[in-house]
């Protein structure tokens, strides 16, 4: 590993962190804060506004499942990354200057088209190309940047919206996104193959339990996409990651409602902030475990935290005091590390790196679908039965199933 490779690799990681802070942390994570002023100004219902968030999630999910791998391969990782940055910036700009709901929705659609390349999928792909060791830890930096961006800027943007109206912070977001796009063009130079340098740690000997192979061979080992879809492990991982999104985000999105049901609506935002802080901590703490012991142990620890949080709500009948609300928020936030972080490592452990981007895109899309379905499932239980009790049982059972299935789902499916 030479100095040039190290600086280029770290530049790639910095570019990923910038993208995650700007388009996920500042941009996407704060969109719900605009609901009240936008619906009032445009004279639309909250359901219409929330359909914008649904559109982003759907376009992101479909893009990652069916287009991400192909576009990254055809356009090249750097070019696709920058195009998505531009799409995200243009989408924010149209939203900021929109005068009606159709214009707002148009900006949302453009933003949604760029989101597949501004998500953890891109981070996994870039890290997989630049690092042959500690990949999960490198990805955790980008994911943590997103969480920190959400924690900090949600509070700041809330104050700005309350005092200056919704357009000013939106315009600031556009300016930050535009500057960040230019910065990323300079910071992220491309992939190792494009630049004629070796990835970081490519010259180190393989671990004792891995097949002995030189670094170039390792970089292209594994199953093709066509071979992977014939493996039962492929479909097992699809089920695992659907459950990952449905369980963690199904409960996460109820945290504010847990507070409201407990008569503590005033601190709902603080509880969500605590959950996001716990999410960041979980990513930093659990990533070395995945790199050293395997991603299945990361999932085990993270989902046990979710089960613990659900159990507290279940035992108290949804009537929690303030300290318990914070404990539940921390447990649930910590558990979300078990939905986003395992994907890259799980795909790499089971299927190798040959068609990593294409397979990963499917798994990330599945997590997004699960994350979209989970909150609706929990809400349906509440609407039908008047409480979350049965929904909590379902989430705990599904979490246990996810934990158990990850052990066979991440076993190596190919021979070197």
Residues 278-318: pLDDT tens digits? Answer: 887 888 888 888 878 888 899 999 999 999 999 999 999 98
In a domain, 201, yes or no: no
Comparing 195 with 29, the larger pLDDT belongs to 195
In a domain, 202, yes or no: no
Q: What is the pLDDT of residue 269?
A: 64
The domain boundary, picked from 149, 175, 192, lies at: 192
The domain boundary, picked from 155, 173, 192, lies at: 192
Residue 184 belongs to domain with CATH number = 1.20.1250.20
Instruction: Say yes or no to pLDDT of 217 above 60.
Output: no
The predicted model gives 395-407 an average pLDDT of 95
- Across 379-409, b (16+ Cβ under 10 Å) vs e yields bebbeeeeebeebbebbbebbeebbebbeeb
Domain carrying residue 312? 219-409
Residues 7-16: pLDDT tens digits? Answer: 899 999 999 9
Whether 299 and 153 share a structural domain = no
d(CA 199, CA 215): 9
Q: What is the pLDDT of residue 220?
A: 62
159: exposed, middle or buried (Cβ count in 10 Å: 0-12, 13-18, 19+): exposed
Instruction: Say yes or no to pLDDT of 107 above 50.
Output: yes
Instruction: Say yes or no to pLDDT of 213 above 60.
Output: no
Q: What is the pLDDT of residue 354?
A: 82
Q: What is the pLDDT of residue 20?
A: 93
The percentage of the chain sitting over the pLDDT mark of 70, rounded to a whole number, equals 91
Comparing 349 with 209, the larger pLDDT belongs to 349
Q: What is the DSSP string of 274-304?
A: HHHHHHHHHHHHHHHHHHHH-HHHHHHHHHH
Whether 181 and 239 share a structural domain = no
Question: CA quadruple 219, 224, 229, 232: dihedral positive or negative?
Answer: negative
The predicted model gives 149-168 an average pLDDT of 80
Whether 246 and 347 share a structural domain = yes
The predicted model gives 331-358 an average pLDDT of 84
Whether 338 and 402 share a structural domain = yes
DSSP 8-class letter at 212: P
Contact predicate 358/69, CB 8 Å: yes
Contacts of 164 (CB under 8 A, 6+ apart): none
Residues 169-181: pLDDT tens digits? Answer: 899 999 999 999 9
| CB atoms inside a 10 Å sphere around CB 144 | 21
Q: What is the pLDDT of residue 207?
A: 46
Whether 188 and 297 share a structural domain = no
Whether 275 and 229 share a structural domain = yes
The predicted model gives 56-79 an average pLDDT of 85
Contact predicate 116/99, CB 8 Å: no
Comparing 14 with 267, the larger pLDDT belongs to 14
Contacts of 82 (CB under 8 A, 6+ apart): 181, 184, 185
Whether 96 and 135 share a structural domain = yes
Closest CA to 120 of 140, 137, 102: 140
Among 60-74, 161-175, 211-225, 393-407, where is mean pLDDT lowest?
A: 211-225
In a domain, 340, yes or no: yes
Instruction: Say yes or no to pLDDT of 53 above 60.
Output: yes
In a domain, 166, yes or no: yes
Let me know how many helices (H) and strands (E) the chain has, helices first: 21, 0
In a domain, 305, yes or no: yes
Instruction: Say yes or no to pLDDT of 133 above 50.
Output: yes
Closest CA to 110 of 180, 60, 76: 60
d(CA 376, CA 254): 10
Whether 168 and 258 share a structural domain = no
The predicted model gives 224-229 an average pLDDT of 86
In a domain, 416, yes or no: no
Q: How far is CA 328 from CA 148, 196, 257, 259, 339, in A?
A: 20, 49, 12, 10, 17
In a domain, 287, yes or no: yes
Whether 341 and 248 share a structural domain = yes
Number of structural domains (the chain) is: 2
Whether 181 and 325 share a structural domain = no
In a domain, 199, yes or no: no
Q: What is the pLDDT of residue 209?
A: 41
Among 77-81, 249-253, 257-261, 328-332, where is mean pLDDT lowest?
A: 257-261
The domain boundary, picked from 192, 209, 242, lies at: 192
Whether 224 and 309 share a structural domain = yes
Contact predicate 170/41, CB 8 Å: no
The predicted model gives 229-234 an average pLDDT of 89
Whether 121 and 18 share a structural domain = yes
Q: What is the pLDDT of residue 239?
A: 93
Residue 145 pLDDT level (bands cut at 50, 70, 90):
confident
Instruction: Say yes or no to pLDDT of 140 above 50.
Output: yes
Among 47-56, 144-153, 321-330, 386-395, where is mean pLDDT lowest?
A: 47-56
d(CA 264, CA 320): 9
Contact predicate 313/258, CB 8 Å: yes
């Amino acid at each position: 590993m030479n100095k040039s490779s190290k600086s280029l690799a770290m530049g790639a990681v910095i570019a990923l962190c910038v993208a995650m802070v700007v388009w996920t942390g500042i941009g996407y994570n704060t969109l719900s804060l605009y609901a009240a002023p936008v619906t009032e100004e445009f004279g639309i219902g909250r359901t219409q506004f929330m359909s914008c968030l649904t559109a982003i999630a759907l376009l992101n999910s479909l893009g990652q499942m069916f287009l991400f791998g192909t576009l990254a391969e055809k356009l090249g990782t750097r070019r696709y990354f920058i195009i998505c940055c531009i799409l995200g910036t243009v989408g924010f700009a149209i939203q900021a200057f929109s005068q009606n709901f159709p214009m707002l929705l148009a900006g949302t659609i453009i933003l949604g088209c760029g989101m597949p390349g501004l998500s953890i999928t891109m981070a996994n792909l870039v890290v997989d190309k630049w690092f042959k060791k500690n990949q999960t830890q490198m990805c955790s930096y980008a994911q943590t940047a997103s969480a920190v961006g959400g924690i900090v800027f949600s509070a700041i943007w809330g104050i700005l919206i309350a005092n200056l109206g919704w357009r000013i912070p939106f315009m600031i977001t556009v300016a930050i996104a535009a500057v960040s796009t230019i910065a990323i063009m300079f910071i992220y130079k491309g992939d190792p193959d494009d630049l004629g340098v070796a990835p970081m740690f490519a010259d180190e000997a393989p671990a004792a339990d891995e097949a002995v192979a030189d670094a170039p061979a390792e970089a292209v080992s594994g199953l093709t996409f066509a071979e992977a879809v014939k493996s039962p492990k492929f479909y097992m991982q699809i089920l695992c990651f659907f459950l990952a999104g449905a369980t963690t985000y199904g409960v996460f999105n109820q945290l504010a409602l847990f507070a409201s049901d407990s008569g503590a609506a005033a601190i709902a935002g603080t509880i969500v902030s605590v959950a996001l802080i716990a999410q960041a901590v979980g990513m930093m703490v659990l990533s070395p475990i995945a790199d050293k012991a395997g991603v299945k142990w990361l999932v085990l620890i993270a989902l046990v935290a979710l089960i613990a949080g659900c159990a507290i709500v279940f035992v108290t009948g949804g009537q929690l005091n303030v300290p318990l609300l914070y404990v539940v928020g921390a447990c649930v936030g910590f558990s979300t590390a078990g939905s986003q972080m395992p994907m890259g490592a799980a795909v790499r452990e089971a299927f190798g790196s040959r068609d990593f981007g294409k397979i990963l895109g499917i798994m990330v899309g599945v997590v997004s679908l699960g994350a979209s379905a989970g909150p609706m499932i929990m809400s349906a239980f509440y609407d039908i039965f008047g409480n979350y009790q049965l929904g909590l049982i379902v989430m705990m059972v599904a979490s246990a199933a996810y934990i158990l299935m990850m052990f066979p789902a991440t076993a190596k499916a190919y021979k070197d």
